Structure 1
Amino acid sequence: MKLTIWGAAQQVTGSMHLLQTENYTILIDCGLDYEKGTYQEENQYFPFNPAIIDLVILTHAHIDHSGNLPTLVRMGFEGQVLCTPPTADLAELLLLDSVNIFLSKQNKKTRRGKGYSGPQPLYLQKHVMETVDRFVTIGFNKPFKVNGNIEVTFIPVGHLLGAAAVILTITEHEVTKKIGFTGDIGRKNYPVLIDPQILPQLDYLVSESTYGGRLHTTDTSLQDKLIQTIEEACIKSPGRLIIPAFSIGRTQSLVFALNQIFSKGLLPPVQIFVDSPLANYATEVYRKHHQLVNDEAKHFYQTKGDEFEFENLIYVHDRKESQSVMNYLEPCIIISSAGMLEGGRIQDHLYHNIQNYYCTILFIGYCAKGTLGDRLLRGDPIVRLRNRDLMVYASIKKTDLLSGHGDHKDLVETVKQQNVNTLKKVFLVHGETKSLDALANSLKEEGYQVVIPKKGETLEL
């Protein structure tokens, strides 16, 4: 049995792992690689023939794990895609949104209004729908027989509604081995989402490493941090708070956290706008699969009502409504996507507010290197928006209290659930070099055999 790491190798995005048995080939995740500026060109070819893939298993819906599935289908993949029910619903939303982003990049205009041909879309809506038709959904903790020799089980890991670790039980030459793929590991006590579940004992583990070497803030709570930021941005001064947030996952958890604050009367009312059509659709998916949210959210629903609806919260739908938000002069909170600022309505709000001294921009998630969000976080005094260089006068703040990833301690604890004498190897992926090295060193100190694969490296299992 061979495992080849074709994505998220010594970097964060583009998860894609090829597992080959004697007579069956499985691809675990098929995400977009955002590490290069020309990512559409970089993602249009695969280092293998898509037609040889018998099965795809999807850990969760985020685009760096699911975003290149339609390209795989377009180029010859004819098998099924296994995932959990919420992952299927959320992935469909994200993939259709990706088509819109591709087309917007292709149809950009110059400042003089002359059209030009941008990069060709990786795929179109028809390819997304062909992909969605291949989804086969499986519930958590329900072993599924792929064939006589392969069984797959999804284990909940938090991070995003429906997100799962993939456990493959494979028998070859009368020898049975268990291989686990963590996908992205969430954190405990996260708004709306359940805690990660303990993984079964494995022979091999492929683990994410996003927050290797880093610990999340523990000296304050999410509620206190939000209250402090809102007070400074919207109450003590008549300003606005803009929060870039991923439409799927982060926005729903943030809205619930704000609902708890304002329903308790911990702050005077402040108008809140959620300006992201994708977030609106995703919230409906969260309602549809409400049985999978955590006990805190279920209790709130039973005692106080919908976690995602409250007074002074407005979901913005069309462009006209979005424009009215930009013209809103009272203090307010604007939640908009995308979280890394690489497209979406958030860029409109930035364009009109980046030079506003009374504006605060609060980052609540990871920003990949080279993105506009990353440039603002590193303190660039000038950023380019709509072909204009704009001075940054707005206050830039960040918090990791809404990060959907477990930190270094969480990652180490996930691996330490495994018997050090029976887990043969841990393969670390989905992390920058510094994070990978830090996590590897900690695991080696615990006695685990650790490998940091290079892209395209084939590992014998």
Structure 2
Amino acid sequence: MKLTIHGAAMQVTGSMHLLQVGQYKILVDCGLDYEKEHNVQVNEDFDFRPEEIDVVVLTHAHIDHSGNLPTLVRLGFSGQILCTPPTADLTELLLLDSVNIFMQKAQKGRRHKRHRHQSAGAQPLYLQKHVMDTVDRFVTIGFNRPFRINGDIELTFITAGHLLGAASAVFKVNDNGVEKTIAFTGDIGRKNYPVLNDPEPLPPVDYLVSESTYGGRLHTKDVSAEQVLTEIIDKVCLKEQGRLIIPAFSIGRTQSLVFALNKIFSSGLLAPVKVFVDSPMATMATGIFRKHHQHVNPEAQEFYNKQGDEFEFENLTYVENLKDSRQVSNYYEPCIIISSAGMLEGGRIQDHLFYNIQNYYCTILFIGYCAKGTLGHRLLRGDSIVHIKDRDLAVYATIKQTDVLSAHGDHDDLLNNIKQQNKDTLKQVFLVHGEAGSMQLLADAAEQEGYHVTIPEKKGLTYEL
């Protein structure tokens, strides 16, 4: 049995790992690499032949795990893509949105090309046809239901808690008569997170491939999302009579944020404030959350049974068309605008930033991780001038960040996930999906507990298991 790390080595995005049992090849995740400085075409450069992959296992829908699947299909992959039912529905939404972003960037490149080769570099990575070809390959599997991929390999999805439908993938393998087990955590969520179920413990395995996004970092403790949001909204919207803009991923983060706001306003903690959710994809994703309501956590189900839809409340408006979105910019009363994308790379959020980044009475609140190279990362590091929609704009708005709605487990969560394994039987931990410093801090902590840890330093490294 062999493991090859083809993505998310010493970085967060582009998760892609190849598990080979004999001649059978399983690709775990096929994510888009965001960190290639505006050259998405490098995502075509697979270090293997796509047609030789037998099956893909998708841990969850986020683009850094799913976003390169249509490229894989376009270049020859013809097998099944195994995932949970919510992941299948959410991934389709995200992939179609990626096509829109690619097309917008291609049009922008054609308008502003200076040299002939720049136009070619801006071509879409894939088209809607390739997304639909990808969706046709989805085969859905429920949680905790062992699925036999072939005579030698069994797959079980375990709840990861990071996103609706997110799963850790556990493989039981017969490798030339020897039983071996390996688990890929995907992205690990947090306990007591709005809407989502808590991550479930993994069974004992021989090898563990673990994410490390928040290695070395601890989330804010002993304070709820409602408490933090209440304080910020009270200051920005009620006392300063200003505007609060919250960049949020349309799928997952927006639904958890809306539920938190619902609890705040329905309980009377604050006077009503107008809330706009300006993302058609968020509206569609919320419909998928309703469709798969059996997968939301007990708190959300109880709220629904007692008070109604957790994703609806007075003063909440889901903005659907572009005309209404532009009218939001002309709404001069205090308000909260939730829009995508969370890292500010495309989407309607860029329009709201364009009109508000120089507004002293505007606060931009980040509630999630922003990868290096993104506009969100540049704002968070304190750039005083940023480039938005072909213009360089000074940053006068207040930039804030909170981790109370981060859907990733922190250092302790990641370490505890490793410590659930018996250090005498767990042969190796591989750390992926994290920046170098985060990986090293998590590796040091795990090694102090007696575990053997490997940090793949670059993609393409193969390990005999």
TM-score bracket relative to the smaller structure: over 0.9
Measured after TM superposition, the shift of residue 38 of structure 1 is 3.0
Q: Do structure 1's residue 206 and structure 2's residue 209 form an aligned pair?
A: yes
| Contact 1:326 1:349 (C-alpha < 8 Å) held by counterparts | yes
Aligned to 2:41: 41
Structure 2: unaligned runs, 5 residues or longer:
none
| Contact 1:18 1:25 (C-alpha < 8 Å) held by counterparts | yes
Q: Secondary structure at the match of 1:105?
A: helix
Aligned to 2:342: 339
Residues 112, 57 of structure 1: alpha-carbon distance in 2 compared, 3 angstrom cutoff: closer
Aligned to 2:79: 79
Identity percentage of aligned residues: 69
Letter in 1 for 2:417: T
Structure 1 CA distance, aligned partners of 2:375 and 2:112?
24
Cα deviation code 1:303-325 (max 9, x no counterpart):
00000000000000000000110
Q: Secondary structure at the match of 1:153?
A: strand
Mapping for residues 13-412 of structure 1, pairs under 5 Å: 13-108=13-108, 117=119, 119-412=122-415
Structure 2 CA distance, aligned partners of 1:373 and 1:324?
24
| Contact 1:33 1:39 (C-alpha < 8 Å) held by counterparts | no
How many residue pairs match? The answer is: 461
Structure 2 CA distance, aligned partners of 1:49 and 1:345?
36
Q: Secondary structure at the match of 1:241?
A: strand
Letter in 2 for 1:15: S
Aligned to 2:460: 456
Cα deviation code 1:245-281 (max 9, x no counterpart):
0000000000000000000000000000000011011
| Contact 1:6 1:456 (C-alpha < 8 Å) held by counterparts | yes
Q: Secondary structure at the match of 1:3?
A: strand
| Contact 1:140 1:156 (C-alpha < 8 Å) held by counterparts | yes
Q: Secondary structure at the match of 1:366?
A: coil
Residues 236, 60 of structure 1: alpha-carbon distance in 2 compared, 3 angstrom cutoff: same
Structure 2 CA distance, aligned partners of 1:43 and 1:356?
37
| Contact 1:111 1:387 (C-alpha < 8 Å) held by counterparts | no
Letter in 1 for 2:159: P
Q: Secondary structure at the match of 2:108?
A: coil
Measured after TM superposition, the shift of residue 39 of structure 1 is 3.6
Measured after TM superposition, the shift of residue 452 of structure 1 is 0.3
Structure 1: unaligned runs, 5 residues or longer:
none
* TM-score, length-scaled by structure 1: 0.98
Letter in 2 for 1:149: D
Measured after TM superposition, the shift of residue 237 of structure 1 is 1.3
Cα deviation code 1:83-122 (max 9, x no counterpart):
0000000000000000000000000178899998361111
Q: Secondary structure at the match of 2:77?
A: coil
Q: Do structure 1's residue 10 and structure 2's residue 20 form an aligned pair?
A: no
The 4+ residue runs of structure 1 with deviation greater than 6 A are 109-116
| Contact 2:109 2:122 (C-alpha < 8 Å) held by counterparts | no
Letter in 2 for 1:59: T
Letter in 1 for 2:205: L
Q: Secondary structure at the match of 1:43?
A: helix
Measured after TM superposition, the shift of residue 42 of structure 1 is 1.1
Structure 2 CA distance, aligned partners of 1:105 and 1:459?
38
Residues 202, 113 of structure 1: alpha-carbon distance in 2 compared, 3 angstrom cutoff: closer
Q: Secondary structure at the match of 1:108?
A: helix
How large is the RMSD of aligned CA atoms in angstroms? 1.4
Residues 386, 82 of structure 1: alpha-carbon distance in 2 compared, 3 angstrom cutoff: same
Out of 39-48 and 130-139, give the one that drifted further.
39-48
Letter in 1 for 2:164: L
Structure 1 CA distance, aligned partners of 2:112 and 2:17?
45
Measured after TM superposition, the shift of residue 388 of structure 1 is 1.4
Residues 55, 100 of structure 1: alpha-carbon distance in 2 compared, 3 angstrom cutoff: same
Structure 1 CA distance, aligned partners of 2:272 and 2:110?
42
Aligned to 2:441: 438
